[in-house]
C-alpha cells in the first residue's frame, strides 16, 4: 500500500479545482507474482484516475513481484487473484479517523527525518533533551494499553514483534497507519485500531518541523507484544 501512495502524484489540475475523491483500480496478480492488466474502475476525473493507475504501471515496468496467493486444496499451489484497490486523493491535512492513507499534493511532502521530530501529546512540555525518550515511551505505552487481544491469541500466550508506521501530519494528526511487518493475522489490525484512537480522542501531537515550519513526518518503530 505504501508503494502506491509514494508513487502517485496529485494532478495539478485537480489541486487547482480543489477536487478530491477515490479512484478504484482493478488488477491481477499472476501465479509468478507479476502485476497484470491494471484497469480503472472508478475515475473521479481531473486526472485522478490516470494518477492512480501510474503506480501499478510502474510495478509492471520495474518488474516488481508480489507474493502470489496460494490455495491449500490439493497441495499448496500459487493461484491467480484479482484485486480492486481504492486510491484516495485528499487535499485536507486532517485525516479520516481510521488513519487510512491518501495521495497528497506536492506541498504535502512526507519527511522521514525532520529538524524537529514529532512529539507525543504532553511530552513537548519536557526539556528538549528528554522529549524523544518521553515520546517513544508514551507512544508504546498507549498502544499496548489500548490493545484488545483476541481470545484465541491470548490463550496461545503469543509473543512477538511487529513494525508499525504512521504519519504525523503538520497539524499533529495521525494518518496512513500501517503494519510493515506483522506478527500474526488479526493482531496487526488491532494495532492499527489502537493507533487510530489518538485521532478519535483528539490527541494532537507536536508536529515535526523543518526550518521552523510544521511538516508531515513518517514514524516507523518496532512494537513488542508479549502475552506470556
The closest alpha carbon to 164, from 185, 183, 150, belongs to 183
Tell me the pairing of strands 213-226 and 159-168: antiparallel
Number of other CB atoms surrounding residue 24 within 10 Å: 16
CATH dotted code for 123-226? 3.30.1150
The chain-wide mean pLDDT, for the chain, equals: 86
* Mean pLDDT along residues 179-195: 78
Thinking of the domain 2-89, which architecture would CATH place it in?
2-Layer Sandwich (3.30)
* Mean pLDDT along residues 11-22: 90
pLDDT single digits (tens) 139-156: 999 999 998 877 766 666
Q: What is the pLDDT of residue 176?
A: 86
Structural domain boundaries in the chain: 2-89, 123-226
Identify the band that residue 181 occupies on the pLDDT scale cut at 50, 70 and 90: confident
The three cell numbers locating residue 123: 511530552
pLDDT single digits (tens) 34-78: 999 999 999 999 999 999 999 999 999 999 989 888 876 656 788
219: pLDDT strictly greater than 90: yes
Whether 2-89 shares its CATH topology with 123-226 is answered yes
25: pLDDT strictly greater than 90: yes
Amino acid at each position: 500500500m505504501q508503494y502506491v501512495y509514494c508513487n502517485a502524484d496529485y494532478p495539478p489540475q485537480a489541486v487547482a479545482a480543489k477536487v478530491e475523491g477515490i479512484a478504484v483500480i482493478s488488477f491481477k496478480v499472476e501465479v509468478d507474482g507479476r502485476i497484470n492488466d491494471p484497469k480503472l474502475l472508478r475515475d473521479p476525473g481531473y486526472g485522478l484516475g490516470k494518477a492512480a493507475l501510474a503506480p501499478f504501471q510502474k510495478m509492471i515496468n520495474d518488474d516488481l513481484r508480489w507474493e502470489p496467493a496460494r490455495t491449500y486444496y490439493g497441495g499448496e499451489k500459487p493461484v491467480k487473484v484479482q484485486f480492486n484497490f481504492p486510491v484516495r486523493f485528499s487535499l485536507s491535512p486532517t485525516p479520516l479517523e481510521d488513519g487510512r492513507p491518501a495521495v497528497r499534493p506536492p506541498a504535502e511532502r512526507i519527511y522521514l527525518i525532520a529538524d524537529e521530530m514529532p512529539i507525543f501529546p504532553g511530552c513537548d512540555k519536557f526539556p528538549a533533551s528528554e522529549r524523544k525518550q518521553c515520546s517513544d515511551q508514551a507512544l508504546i505505552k498507549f498502544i499496548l494499553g489500548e490493545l484488545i487481544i483476541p481470545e484465541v491469541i491470548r490463550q496461545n500466550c503469543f509473543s512477538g514483534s511487529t513494525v508499525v508506521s504512521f504519519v504525523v501530519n503538520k497539524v499533529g494528526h495521525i494518518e496512513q497507519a500501517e503494519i510493515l511487518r506483522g506478527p500474526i493475522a488479526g493482531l496487526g489490525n488491532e494495532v492499527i485500531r489502537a493507533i487510530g484512537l489518538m485521532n478519535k480522542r483528539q490527541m494532537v501531537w507536536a508536529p515535526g518541523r523543518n526550518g521552523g515550519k510544521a511538516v508531515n513526518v513518517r514514524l516507523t518503530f518496532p512494537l513488542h507484544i508479549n502475552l506470556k
